[in-house]
Amino acid sequence: MTTIIDGNEIADRIRADVAERARRLNDEGVTPGLATVLMSDDGGSKTYVSMKQRACEETGIEGIHHEIDPGEPAEVLFDRIDRLNEDPAVHGILVQMPVPDHVDTRTVLERIDPMKDVDGFHPENVGRLVAGNARYKPCTPHGVQKILAACDVDTEGKDAVVVGRSDIVGKPMANLFVQRDQGGNATVTVCHSRTADLAAKTREADVVVAAAGVPEMIDGEMLSDGVTVIDVGITRVEADTEKGYELVGDVDFESAKEKASAITPVPGGVGPLTIAMLMYNTVKAASLQSGVPVDLP
């Protein structure tokens, strides 16, 4: 029997816990605030940001959305970040990635006050994560850990194979898996576009996290029986549907589910967790900045 993991159900439970902590902060006169900044015309990015804003409403977080025309100079974005850094009502700042080519991503990430960096992408927060003293765990890999915990998959002593080495998912995922901590203690292999024999690596895995952004690159032939498969990929592929596209993961779901003991679908797997963990980090940010303690699970 293969478990098809319901990401929405797990995310709903986390969101309810986070909303409860947001209410507690509110009782102390602190309304958690999240500023989202979009500098892109990309349809996917627009959808993701509006989902993040909707989640704020449902969680008792004050969501403030900022849009900057992607044709504007980089300074317009930097100035906006400076203003948000100074605004005491804003506890978290999320600049939706990617930004336009003329805007240097590193400068954006370093411009955000590390205390407000609810993505966990600022070098200070990356360093803390690697050092085993995370302030804000990046939302998607943290969500993957929550999925594994909810499915009673203990990573300790297991072979975890991460496919993809992005700063947003692959690298922080590998770092979380390797930590001496709950959801860690795994033996970690990171595969990427230069990996010589990907299938040889994925076949050895107890847990595969697919985060390369290449539709259906991992199929059942590349997996062993009983593996747990977490599909982070979500690519819009042209299709004869009402919207003109469909969302496709990095895993060929039909063949992979014949091998897996548990597998996430796309959509409805990891995506809802990414948003839930952003709410989590925002409430944590409000707690750290106000000095009002909350015990986040």
- Here the tokens at position 125 are 């927060």
Q: For the CB of residue 26, give the shortest distance to ligand GUN in the complex, in Å.
A: 25
Q: Which stretch binds ligand GUN (CB under 6 A): 95-103, 141-149, 170-178, 241-249?
A: 95-103
Q: Tokens 């596209």 correspond to what residue?
A: 245
For the question of residue 145 being annotated catalytic, the response is no
Helix ranges restricted to H, the chain: 7-27, 43-59, 74-86, 105-111, 123-130, 139-150, 170-178, 198-202, 253-256, 271-290
Q: For the CB of residue 229, give the shortest distance to ligand GUN in the complex, in Å.
A: 20
**Contact pick of 40, 59, 125, 140 for ligand GUN (by CB under 6 A):** 140
Q: Which stretch binds ligand GUN (CB under 6 A): 59-67, 88-96, 102-110, 289-297?
A: 88-96
Residue 139 as a binder of ligand GUN (CB under 6 A): the answer is: yes
Q: For the CB of residue 52, give the shortest distance to ligand GUN in the complex, in Å.
A: 9
For 189, phi and psi rounded to 5 degrees? -120, 130
Contact 279, 143 (CB under 8 A): no
Distance CA(173)–CA(140), nearest Å, equals: 8
Lay out the site mask for ligand GUN across 243-282 (x = CB under 6 A, - = otherwise). -------------------------------x--------
**Contact pick of 56, 94, 160, 209 for ligand GUN (by CB under 6 A):** 94
Q: For the CB of residue 204, give the shortest distance to ligand GUN in the complex, in Å.
A: 28
| Burial (Cβ within 10 Å: 0-12, 13-18, ≥19) of residue 70 | middle
Maximum Cα–Cα distance for the chain, whole Å? 55
For the question of residue 284 being annotated catalytic, the response is no
- AA identity, residue 140: T
Choice among 113, 119, 206, 231 that is catalytic: 119
Q: Tell me the three state secondary structure of residue 16.
A: helix
Residue nearest to ligand GUN (CB): 97
Residue 231 as a binder of ligand GUN (CB under 6 A): the answer is: no
Distance CA(87)–CA(116), nearest Å, equals: 11
Residue 97 as a binder of ligand GUN (CB under 6 A): the answer is: yes
Residue 175 as a binder of ligand GUN (CB under 6 A): the answer is: no
For the question of residue 154 being annotated catalytic, the response is no
Of 125, 70, 131, the C-alpha closest to 93 is 125
- Catalytic positions are 52, 96, 119
Which residues sit at the interface with ligand GUN, rule CB under 6 A?
A: 94-97, 119, 139-140, 168, 274
